[in-house]
Amino acid sequence: MAAWIDMVFILVVVIDLFTLASSRLNAAIRAVALQGALLSVLPLLLASWEHEIGHVLLLSLGALAIKAIFIPWLMFRAIREAAIRREVEPIIGFVPSMILGGVGVALAFAFSRGLPLPSPERHAFLVPTALATVWTGLLLVVSRKKAVNQVLGFLMLENGVFVFGLLLAEFMPVMVEAGVLLDLFAAVFVMGIVMFHINREFSSLDTEKLTALKD
Amino acid sequence: MIPIVILIPLVLGGMAFAWPENRNRPVFLLVGAAAHAAGMAGLWLREEPPLLDGFLFLDAAGKVTLTATSALFLACAVYAQGYLRRRDDRDNRVFVGGLLVLLSALTMVGVAQHLGLLWVAIELTTLATAPLIYFNRNARSLEAAWKYLLVCSLGIALALLGTFFLALAGAAPGGPRSLLVGDLVRAGPALSKPWVRAAFVFLLVGYGTKMGLAPLHSWKPDAYGEAPGLLGALLSGGVTSFAFLALARVYQVCRAAGEDAFARDALVGLGLLSMALAAVFMVGQRDFKRMLAYSSVEHMGILAVGLGLGGSAVPGAFFHSLNNGLSKGVLFLAAGNIHRSFGSKVTDDVRGAARRLPVSGPLFLAGFLAVTGTPPFSPFFSEFVILNGALGTGRYWVGGLFLLFMAAIFIGMGTTILKVVQGDDAGTPSRPGFGDSWLTAAPPLVLMLVVLALGLWLPRSLADLFQSAAHLVAGS
Amino acid sequence: MLLRALFQIGLFLLLPPLLLGVVNRTKALFAGRKGLPLLQAYYDLARLLRKGAVYSRTTTWTFRAGPAIGLASVAAAGLMLAVAGEPALVSFAGDFVLFAYLLALARFFTALAALDTGSSFEGMGAAREVSFASMAEPALFVSLIVLARATGTLSLSGMLGPGLAPAWSTAAPALLLAAISLYVVALAENARIPVDDPNTHLELTMIHEVMVLDHSGPDLAFILYGASLKLFLFGAILVRVVLGLRFESLLAAEAAFAAGMVGFAILVGVTESVMARLRLARVPQMLVGASVLSVFALVLLLR
Amino acid sequence: MTPALAVLAIALVTASGLPGLLLQRRPALGQALSCAALCAGSALGLAAAAIALFGGGGFAVSAPWHVPLGSLALRLDPLSALFLVPILGVPALGAVYGLSYFPQSRLGARAVRLQLYYGLITGSMALVALADNAMLFLVGWEVMAVAGFLLVLTDHEKAECQKAAFTYLAASHAGTFALFAFFCVVGSQRGSFDFAAWQGLSAAGRAGGWLYALLLVGFGSKAGLMPLHFWLPGAHSAAPSHVSALMSGVLLKTGIYGLLRTTGFFEAPPASWGMAVLALGAVSGVLGVGLALAQHDLKRLLAYHSVENIGIIAMGVGLALVGRARGEPALVFLGFAGGALHVVNHSLFKSLLFYGAGSVQHACHTRDIEHLGGLAKAMRATSFLFLVGAAAISGLPPLNGFVSEWLVALGALRAMDLPRGDAAAFAVLAAPALALIGGLASACFAKVQGTVFLGSPRSEHAAHARESPRAMLVPMGILAAACATIGLFPALLLPALRSAAAAWAGLPQAALAAPAARAAASAWWVSIVAAALLAGLAGLALLRRRVLRGPTPAAETWGCGFSAPTSRMQYTGSSFAEILTGRLAWVFFPRIRFRPPQGLFPRTASFTSEVPDTVLDLALSPALSFLARIALKVRAWYPTRIHFHAVLLLLGLVAILSWRLLWW
């Protein structure tokens, strides 16, 4: 069982690095969708059995529905309308973002040993994966020019925080977990609408055009 | 009573979305606001026991912010009747529905005692506000909406991370293992110190972004500059005050865990930085709505300084959050009227507002005097109490800088506002039919009279409320 | 004591025109001329009082009231002056402040009368008179303060009275400096040579004379009499400062005082014959110099 | 009884603008009613003040006020009663003057607004004088400032008005922040914000020095002491005349009242405090009158004279403080009596002069004295009353200006009696400074009276001027009469001044009895000399009438035979003052624009000299615009892209985290 969990964590980190490198939007969206699916499986694997199964099942199914199915569908629709295929050169360039991503992951692993985790048993890789994903998400938001990529970055940030949330499954009541997922869903939904309007207004999703407001 | 106050606006919001007729949809707004105000009055009369095993409970701090926002929302609802009738060229389905959802989300923030639930409610307010900023349907407001959405979501995500850190702090064996503020405060010293510190930093940045403190304020000038005056009033008067409330709850937990030494310095530092930045960015500002945004940054700085100083300054901070709500309401609604009547918000082609708008012009000037701490308006008393907290306890540098920035802001803001209000409006673009009507001029006037009344005679019940809120949060 | 004071007042009112005569006679002797008779000033006054007056169209009542107010205020200042060491009719703490301000009152209304005529010459004269006087005022004040500090009293009678002689022994340098600066102020106030030339006919160079250019008849008489009174006032102070001796009998004191006054007049005449008129730009420097001298004297006393 | 009287007076005065507002359809009646209300209110207030001053019936009443740190505490002691006299007297006369100078029937809403703010500012000033609690004091203080701002904004179309009004409001608001700091520190030190609890503050050491610096900045900026006077000339010349009279005559005095009230709390102020105020006063006096000499605008000139007279008052206060430091009751009494009497005197003759200026502006529609002249013929009464005011402000004997300057000079002379090596003895130099100020002031007012009223008219307007209506002359007459009576009978006021001085210095009445008696004796002698002067004058006038029998033909002024003199050949204001302004050029850098005549037949040559306000135009506004340019540069650098906003947020996070680690 532990090997499977390690495999999932490693795969999540690999997807992080892949998204940083990919210049094609379709590939990036599919990768994030895969990451969402993987993360929705995690609660089932990690749940300690004395916990009532209903809560965990609901949580993972909800995550799967939102992260793996609905959000990618929304992203693909946005790309289709904007008729854009490829990310233009990001602000700090693909190669440097790759390097920064790698450095981030290394730091995450080094740093997580120092954190005094209350219940060490969970899994060695959980905290570093969470921190790495959060770091990659931040990097994407800050460096990418296309609005779609910024939303992907935000999504990855949420995934990282979601992984962190797994540690606290038992005393985050189901209602709050559902709230967090619902908020994520609503956030991406509103971002989708706004992207749709940006595309209609600026006929492109390039955030470089969004610089009119000056002091 | 609490679930009613949360659900009624939500239900009305849904109905507003469904309502086909564009002309009389704003009435839902009025009904929602009235119901909410009635609910609040009920809550003032009868003390409510905690609900959902401690998740929802209206404590003193929550009551202060909710009262201010309820009053402000009622005034804005009346204002909206006149405003939306004038803007009937645009579909207000999203606007009215969004506002009602925003009201219920804010109420939830006010009563949430569980930090996770608090985070969910605050994220909901962000999402409810974003489409409203885009009400003017032009490129600039779209850019403002996008920036608001992304920066705030980023901040809120960090706040979620902070909340999880706080949960981890309590997750050690023997710890409270819960995110209820009551449990965390009772556990207090048992929380693990490093996690609480890390949590406070992330939560300060998260909710600080939502509040608009100094380095995290970049979304504010764009959002307030492009949003309609009505939304600007609600954002600067309501939403940011609730972010301050969330920060106060986090500070409450921090103080219980014995970590408040650093927290207070961070709050005072960020507060003074916000005031400094507002002073620099307000000088020679040609767009009076963006200037009001920087004034909001300054007043959030004052609230942070008030909370950070502790002792007798904290009741002043809560009094100031009430005053800020009301006076910002006056300023933004009056600015909205002026903007619509002149068709522009740049001081180059807006002059003589006092002559063209006999109520909104002088109100804009009176609001400016109130906001910059001129007696007999009530913000003077709250700012004086905060200053007394600083200078009284020997922190002369903090007091000195506080006064210096207040003076600089008075001069910067004064030049802009006087350019708008004074002189005669010959040669400025005139848009007939957009003058002062009863519905658009009465609400800011009523708010101004309330601010003046609070300045002359602060009711005993309100003063005790601030005292108990301060005792709850900072144990002064 | 009242009889004595009335006698002093009589002396103060009758003697001054004689001083003018002595000054003119000294200047005449220096220039080898026979000069005007000593009593010429009395004859002029009598003649002017009997003559009619011509008034310019642009003038108002201020022009007619100017000379009368000038003379009245100088006469009032005379009430407080201790002639020949005897206490004056009016003496109280701080009366020298009133003395100085009464002179300022006279100057103020003379300048207004000059400006009323609306002529550029009179305006020029008024501007110069008022400017130089405001620079001379601090020097007069500080000199009188030095006297007050030296004799320990604050009234003119006390200052110029018996206390002055012993004061010379303790504060001789300060009193000397005060006397010099008082003399400079006297020359400036009475429009004598180094500051202003009383007998010139070129209006552009005059200061005091051009202010009274348009007056005629009784007004001119009041002005001339006022000027002589003012000269007498400054003379009386200077004489007491320099000749501070005590005399037991009244007659001896009066005789000494009269001799002193004639000496003062001769000194003024000599100064006028010896020096030429200063350029207008240098007059302020002279007056400021006098002020600095008197302040230095005061510092000597206060140290 | 007096508390009710005082509160009723304040209420009546504050609400005196309402009749004008309510009766807009019948403007004349409305204005008359509001003027009557104001006069009634001030009469009540003056009655209460008189009871406190002469009858010793002051009161100190306190009521709870549901406001943080505040309490409705009022105190009427001789000190505040003395200041109530100008605070309530001058506005009443101003309202009467406004009946015809600013008629509501002609000016409509503008006049209604003015009357509302006029009542408001008078009420708030009275509240400031009576407040016995820091918060109540600050409320009165700022309402007064804002009402003054709105009054200066009466005709807000003119850019000059807007700039002057905002400079005034910004200066007074910044000054008030210094007061905020002072009240906070002392309030928390003493545990209460009631002035009663603040008696006996310690003035020792650096803390005392800092408190005093805050006091000087806070009250000095309101009183108009140099270098904080920069807002004063603009505000006073932009406002209507009866508003300028109120601001110049009374508003500045609230600064002096504040300084006196707060220095009264300290029980042993060091002598250096007194010397500081003395020095500031002397500088303000001399430079104030120097700047006034160089002005062309009549109301700006009068405004600068306010700076000079505030300087004289400050010198009196300085001497009193030195007296308290050295424990010399004579110095305390003379300094305080001179300063306080000059407060009352200045409010009288300055209002008289401003009303005169208002009448001139009303008749000739210009304030530039270079275009006036020869008004005495048409406006006989106004020119005579203006002359009385001019003589009073120059401190010439038979009038009240001389009396207060004489008391201050006596105080300065009393400083000589201090032991030899004492530095405070140099306070005696205040007397020559006073003399210099008096000399310059008489030079300046000779210029004004000569250029404006005497000689021949220099412009069409001046030629066709008409005498101002009776309602404007009556208040001027009352003020002139008041100046004369105080000038002729100064001894009557000394008992009131003694009780005020005792209230301020915290000394028993008996301690000041001896110096007061000596001063009274001298004061009676001053009256006698003044009477002798007037008798001599009457005698000379009779002599002149008897002697001047014959016809007095009218002829041209002697112009060296030049047959066609024009009014432009007269000495103008700037040429009159050129000698003195040349001397003081190192202080205020006059801007000279001179086009010399060229060629054999020169066309037009011109010479204009204009003196900017040294502090405002040469120091403050360049510095502020420099700071504004820096702010604009910083803003230009601030990028608008969203990525920068996100990076800024993360940098904030990293900064706080690293600060957190260092802290650890």
Tell me the per-residue pLDDT of C153-198, one tens digit each, with 9 for 90 and over: 888 888 888 888 888 888 888 999 999 999 999 999 888 888 888 7
pLDDT of residue D267: 85
pLDDT of residue A119: 61
CA atoms within 13 A on the CB side of D87: 36
CA atoms within 13 A on the CB side of B47: 4
pLDDT of residue A88: 66
pLDDT of residue C158: 85
Helices A174-202, A71-82: crossing angle, 10 deg rounding: 0
B416 vs D: CB within 8 A: no
Q: Measure Cα distances from B421 to B352, B362, C203 in Å.
A: 5, 7, 58
Q: Taking the alpha carbons of C77, C83, C87, C89 in that order, is the dihedral positive or negative?
A: negative
Burial of C164 (0-12, 13-18, 19+ CB in 10 A): buried
Q: Determine which of D394, D557, D566 to mutate to test the interface with C (most C C-beta atoms within 10 Å).
A: D557
Cα–Cα distance for residue pair D17/D94, rounded to 1 Å: 13
Torsion of CA C4, C8, C13, C14, to 10 degrees: 90
Let me know: does D439 contact D413? Beta carbons within 8 Å.
no
| Cβ-based contacts of B288 with chain A (< 8 Å) | none
| Cβ-based contacts of A212 with chain D (< 8 Å) | 640
Nearest CA distance, C69 vs chain D (angstrom): 6
pLDDT band at C100 (very low <50, low <70, confident <90, very high): very high
Low-confidence ranges of chain D (pLDDT < 50): none
For D373: left if phi > 0, alpha if psi spans -120 to 50, otherwise beta; the answer is left
B291 vs D: CB within 8 A: no
Cα–Cα distance for residue pair D136/D195, rounded to 1 Å: 11
| Interchain proximity D558–C120, CB inside 8 Å | no
Q: Measure Cα distances from B96 to A182, B92, B230, D288, D597 in Å.
A: 22, 6, 11, 62, 75
Q: Determine which of D289, D442, D581 to mutate to test the interface with C (most C C-beta atoms within 10 Å).
A: D442
Helices B260-282, B396-421: crossing angle, 10 deg rounding: 30
Q: Determine which of D177, D210, D620, D658 to mutate to test the interface with B (most B C-beta atoms within 10 Å).
A: D177
| Cβ-based contacts of B221 with chain A (< 8 Å) | 213, 215
Among candidates B164, B225, B281 on the partner chain, residue whose Cβ is nearest the Cβ of A213: B225
What are the pLDDT digits (tens) for D306-353? 999 999 999 999 999 999 988 888 999 999 999 999 999 999 999 999
| Interchain proximity C116–D553, CB inside 8 Å | no
Among candidates D166, D634, D663 on the partner chain, residue whose Cβ is nearest the Cβ of B418: D166
Nearest CA in chain D to B315: D68
Residue B332 has pLDDT above 90, yes or no: yes
| Interchain proximity B134–A210, CB inside 8 Å | no
Q: Determine which of A194, A200, A208, A209 to mutate to test the interface with B (most B C-beta atoms within 10 Å).
A: A194
What are the pLDDT digits (tens) for C6-51? 888 888 888 899 988 999 899 899 888 888 888 988 999 999 888 8
Nearest CA in chain C to D579: C131
B452 vs D: CB within 8 A: no
Low-confidence ranges of chain A (pLDDT < 70): 1, 47-52, 85, 87-89, 114, 116-122, 169-172
pLDDT band at C251 (very low <50, low <70, confident <90, very high): confident
Where in chain D are the domains? 1-152, 250-354+374-449+467-538, 614-663
Closest alpha carbon to B62 in B463, B468, B380, B382: B468
Tokens found for residue B149: 């959405």
State the ipTM, two decimals. Answer: 0.89
CA atoms within 13 A on the CB side of D399: 23
| Interchain proximity D180–B319, CB inside 8 Å | no
What are the pLDDT digits (tens) for D122-161? 999 999 999 999 999 999 999 999 999 999 998 888 888 9
D139 vs B: CB within 8 A: yes
D593 vs A: CB within 8 A: no
Nearest CA distance, D631 vs chain C (angstrom): 47
| Cβ-based contacts of C302 with chain D (< 8 Å) | 416, 420, 425-426, 428
Torsion of CA B102, B105, B107, B112, to 10 degrees: -160
Nearest CA distance, B378 vs chain D (angstrom): 9
pLDDT band at C142 (very low <50, low <70, confident <90, very high): very high
Q: Measure Cα distances from C274 to B469, B476, C29, C193, D299 in Å.
A: 92, 88, 12, 9, 48
What are the pLDDT digits (tens) for B401-455? 999 999 999 999 999 999 999 888 887 887 887 888 888 899 999 999 999 999 9
Closest alpha carbon to C240 in C261, C221, C219: C261
Measured from the Cβ of residue B441, the count of other Cβ atoms closer than 10 Å reads: 21
**DSSP codes, D35-98:** HHHHHHHHHHHHHHHHHHHHH---EEEEEE-SSTT-EEEEEE-HHHHHHHHHHHHHHHHHHHHH
**Average pLDDT of span C226-236:** 92
| Chains in contact with A, where contact requires at least 3 CB pairs less than 8 Å apart | B, D
pLDDT of residue A122: 60
Burial of C165 (0-12, 13-18, 19+ CB in 10 A): middle
**Peptide bond preceding B376 in cis form (omega within 30 of 0):** yes
| Interchain proximity B205–D174, CB inside 8 Å | no
| Interchain proximity B385–D169, CB inside 8 Å | no
C–A contact: 3+ Cβ pairs < 8 A: no
Tokens found for residue D38: 């104001």
Cα–Cα distance for residue pair D202/D183, rounded to 1 Å: 15
Alpha helices in A64-215 (DSSP H): 71-82, 94-114, 126-143, 147-166, 174-202
Where in chain C are the domains? 2-302
- Global confidence as pTM: 0.91
Nearest CA distance, D265 vs chain B (angstrom): 19
Nearest CA distance, A144 vs chain B (angstrom): 13
Tokens 């002559």 label which residue? B355
pLDDT band at B205 (very low <50, low <70, confident <90, very high): very high
| Interchain proximity C98–D570, CB inside 8 Å | no
D646 vs A: CB within 8 A: yes
